[in-house]
Amino acid sequence: MKKMIFALICGLMVVGAGCGSASAPTPAANTNQQPSPAVTPGSKTYSLSDVAAHSIASDCWMAISGKVYDVTSYIPNHPGGDKMVAGCGKDATSMFDRIKGGKGHSDYAKSLETDYYIGDLK
Ligand code: HEM
């Protein structure tokens, strides 16, 4: 009878609560994996002549506000079309800020920059 009551209580217990078994709780998933930018800000620096070596649509770096971006893969998706190619190999800050009659790019456009960031301008 004692055995039956024990079995009944065990049956009602939530899985993993023990009940005399040696089963260890399932280890929690690794939550330490944080999405991190490919490059830590400040860890790489490039001069304007480094940037200038990538001045064509198929190999396009540009500096905007002290940061350097490799935007080669973004050019086909750029809403402003290949107009941005004018900024390849250059400090394109003023071009970036001048569009839309001086309004400049949207916050959304600025958020996209993160994906293409490769380092800071020396
Ligand atoms: C990291 C570099 C760049 C990114 C991520 C980017 C992104 C975008 C995005 C998302 C738009 C849509 C409008 C907005 O959201 O503001 C846009 C429009 C545009 N962009 Fe860029 N852009 C970049 C660089 C440039 C450069 C260097 C130029 C010029 C040389 C340029 C010229 C334009 C033009 C002319 C438009 C169309 C504006 C309009 O709607 O009238 N962009 N860009």
CATH code for the domain defined by 45-121: 3.10.120.10
Q: At a CB cut-off of 8 Å and minimum separation 6, what does 89 contact?
A: 51, 52, 53, 54, 55, 56, 60, 61, 62
- Name the residue at shortest CA distance from atom 24 of ligand 1: 84
| Separation in Å, CA 64 to CA 74, 93, 117, 121 | 15, 4, 10, 9
The whole-angstrom separation of Cα 90 and Cα 101 is: 21
Q: Please state the domain extents for the chain.
A: 45-121
The pLDDT score that the predictor gives to residue 40 is: 82
Residues, the chain: 122
- Name the residue at shortest CA distance from atom 34 of ligand 1: 80
The response to whether residue 75 sits with its C-beta less than 6 Å from ligand 1 reads: no
The response to whether residue 112 sits with its C-beta less than 6 Å from ligand 1 reads: yes
pTM for the complete prediction? 0.76
| pLDDT tens-place string over residues 25-74 | 444 444 444 455 567 877 899 999 999 999 999 999 999 999 999 999 99
Q: How far is the CA of 87 from the centre of ligand 1 (A)?
A: 11
